[in-house]
Amino acid sequence: MNFDVVVSCAVTGAGDTTGKNPHVPVTPKEVADAAIEAAKAGAAIAHIHVRDPETGKGSRDPKLFKEVVDRVRDSNTDVVINLTAGMGGDWVPDPNNPAMPGVGTDMIGPEERLAHVKECMPEICSLDCGTLNFGNGDEIYISTPPMLRKMAQLTKEWGVKPELEVFELGHIRFATQMISEGLVADPPMFQICLGIPWGADQSVDTMKTMKDHLPTGANWAGFGISRMQMPMAATAVALGGNVRVGLEDNIYLDRGVLATNGQLVTRAVEIIERMGARAISPGEARKKLNLRGA
């Protein structure tokens, strides 16, 4: 059981959710406001993607990230900023020539995947620790060992804590290898990502199994998607971990009731407190996770 819980809020993501819930933020101002809203509701960390303001689709434009980060920092709201570094790994084979990239492919190298991180210097950025079949189509998310080693090396040089996102046991195995090679500063920080097709399923047994494979001394959090968001939040706390919620992973507060990021954080904090624990402050989270400047 974890009695001092770090709550993260993933405020928007890159998925096709903007037409399903009007509260999903799109513009830099909306994303920044969502991060501030989440912090005021009790989130210590805001996990941030950006979207193209014109189309609503996920973007990796460093200028958009910079505007969001500047807005949050200028608001004097105390929240740990965690930028995604997962964009730029999408591969969709051309149906007429599978050896070539098709429509929807967006593949770039490790330095470019981290361009916005270098520009903004957040305290945390995510690092998706392997390749994954993503959904029922032809899309594959690709992060190869050389790419990941280079990204880990760069974030360590910059003093940015990598949040090691793991979607199955093989990802934990490779992340642990990078730790053993000295590419990740102690203590490592893991995010157990459950329910994403076709990664590990979201269940108590799965979360426990993945937690049991983490290296000794690692900080970790876990999340589930859609209706399993809150059950997996409670599971993570019971197993000794931290919590992630937010509109990136789930757009509903209750059945048929669309959520805001603030409402999801409030619900998670209520669950944590009813379990006899508490959601800790951003300052406490910095010390617990050994972030830069803590």
| Per-residue pLDDT in tens (0 to 9) along the chain, 294 residues | 999 999 999 999 999 999 999 999 999 999 999 999 999 999 999 999 999 999 999 999 999 999 999 999 999 999 999 999 999 999 999 999 999 999 999 999 999 999 999 999 999 999 999 999 999 999 999 999 999 999 999 999 999 999 999 999 999 999 999 999 999 999 999 999 999 999 999 999 999 999 999 999 999 999 999 999 999 999 999 999 999 999 999 999 999 999 999 999 999 999 999 999 999 999 999 999 999 876
Q: Mind listing the domains of the chain with CATH numbers?
A: 4-289 (3.20.20.70)
Peptide bond into 158 cis (omega under 30): no
Is 89 within 8 Å of 113 (Cβ atoms)?
yes
Is 288 within 8 Å of 280 (Cβ atoms)?
yes
Cα 230 to the center of its chain, rounded Å: 16
Place of tokens 């203590």: 187
CA atoms of 262 and 42, how far apart (whole Å)? 8
Phi/psi at 55 (5° precision):
-105, -20
Structure tokens at 252: 């509903």
Give the pTM. 0.97
Is 47 within 8 Å of 248 (Cβ atoms)?
yes
